[in-house]
Amino acid sequence: MLGAAGLATVGLAGCTDELRNRDDAPSHHVGGTPTRAVRTDRLPVGTSASVLVEGRTLLLRRETEDVVHAFSAVCTHQGCTVAPVTEGGRDVFACPCHGSHFAVETGVPFGGPARKPLTEFTAAVDGDWVVVTL
């Protein structure tokens, strides 16, 4: 695992439960500044990692040489910190607090009490770096 695992203040983390649970709560971060997150050699194809970027804990998944997914590490259930794990031979993002599990490709929950997907960030490979738009 890369980076620190602290409670991130990104996406829905700063929202109240009332706002977070609204049906129209955003699931994609509309950001502005592409920021280096991790060198590509530290995130091989087919792997996931937790990284700290400008004080925010993000979850990254590198699908192919050029396709990277990035999500907030803040669980959409109650704000605990989600981490990449392998369970039964499958890579997932899992919340240790209440057992929510999220797909590494989409951030969509498939187990546990979370109903909303993790907040997604735009990510790309730029030379030797994975960049995330914050």
Domain assignment of residue 89, yes or no: yes
Say what the pTM is. 0.78
**pLDDT for the residue numbered 16:** 45
CATH code assigned at 31: 2.102.10.10
Sign of CA dihedral 31, 36, 41, 42: negative
pLDDT exceeds cutoff 80 at 10: no
Q: Number of structural domains, the chain?
A: 1
Domain span at residue 72 reads: 17-133
Task: Judge contact between 36 and 128, C-beta under 8 A.
Answer: no
Residue 8 lies in a domain: no
Mean pLDDT of the chain: 84
Alpha helices in the chain (DSSP H): 17-20
pLDDT at 116 over 90: yes
Task: Examine residue 69 and state whether it is found in any structural domain, yes or no.
Answer: yes
Tens of pLDDT along 35-70?
Answer: 999 999 999 999 999 999 999 999 999 999 999 999
2 assigned to some structural domain:
no
Residue 79 falls inside a structural domain = yes
